[in-house]
Amino acid sequence: MEAASDRRPCDQVRVRVPATSANLGPGFDAFGLALTLYDDLIVTPGGSGVTVEVTGSGEGEVPLDESHLVVQAIRRGLDALGASVPGFTLRCENRIPHGRGLGSSSAAIVGGLAAAYGLVGAPLDRERLVVLANEIEGHPDNVAAAALGGFTIAWTEGAVHEGDGGRAVRLQTVDGLAAVAYVPDNRVLTKEARGLLPGVVSHSDAAANAGKAALLVAAVTGRPELLLTATEDRLHQEYREPAMPESLALVHKLRGSGLPAIVSGAGPTVVVLGRPDGTSASTGKPAGQGFFRGAPPAPDGWTRYDLGIDPVGVQVWSMEAG
User: Where residue 150 falls among pLDDT bands split at 50, 70, 90?
Assistant: very high
Q: What is the pLDDT of residue 284?
A: 43
pLDDT above 70: residue 8: no
Q: What is the pLDDT of residue 319?
A: 80
Q: What is the pLDDT of residue 292?
A: 60
pLDDT above 80: residue 270: yes
- For 160-217, what is each residue's pLDDT tens digit? 444 457 999 999 999 999 999 999 999 877 777 778 888 889 999 999 999 999 999 9
For residue 61, give Cα distances in angstroms to 221, 248, 274: 39, 28, 34
Q: What is the pLDDT of residue 147?
A: 98
Q: Assess contact for 10 and 321: CB atoms under 8 A.
A: yes
Q: What is the 3-state secondary structure (H, E, C) of 58-118?
A: CCCCCCCCCCCHHHHHHHHHHHHCCCCCCCEEEEEEECCCCCCCCCHHHHHHHHHHHHHHH
Q: What is the pLDDT of residue 216?
A: 98
Query: Alpha-carbon distance 52 to 70, whole Å?
Result: 10
3-state secondary structure of 7: coil
Q: What is the pLDDT of residue 158?
A: 67
Mean pLDDT of 248-259: 96
Long-range contact pairs involving 197-200 (C-beta distance under 8 Å, separation at least 24): 197/235, 197/236, 197/239, 197/240, 198/239
- For 52-95, what is each residue's pLDDT tens digit? 999 999 999 999 999 999 999 999 999 999 999 999 999 999 99
- Give one word for 273, left, alpha or beta, with left for phi > 0 and alpha for psi -120 to 50: beta
pTM for the predicted model, two decimal places: 0.91
User: Where residue 275 falls among pLDDT bands split at 50, 70, 90?
Assistant: confident
User: Where residue 289 falls among pLDDT bands split at 50, 70, 90?
Assistant: very low
For residue 288, give Cα distances in angstroms to 277, 280, 308: 10, 9, 21
In whole numbers, what is the pLDDT of the chain averaged over residues? 89
pLDDT above 60: residue 97: yes
- Give one word for 7, left, alpha or beta, with left for phi > 0 and alpha for psi -120 to 50: beta
Q: What is the pLDDT of residue 198?
A: 82
pLDDT above 80: residue 264: yes
Q: Enumerate the β-bridge partners of residue 271.
A: 181, 262
User: Where residue 7 falls among pLDDT bands split at 50, 70, 90?
Assistant: low
Per-residue exposure over 109-147, b if at least 16 CB sit within 10 Å of its own CB, e if not: bbbbbbbbbbbbbbebbbebbbbbbbbbbebbbbbbbbb
**Which residue segments constitute the domains of the chain, with CATH numbers given?**
4-172+310-320 (3.30.230.10), 178-308 (3.30.70.890)
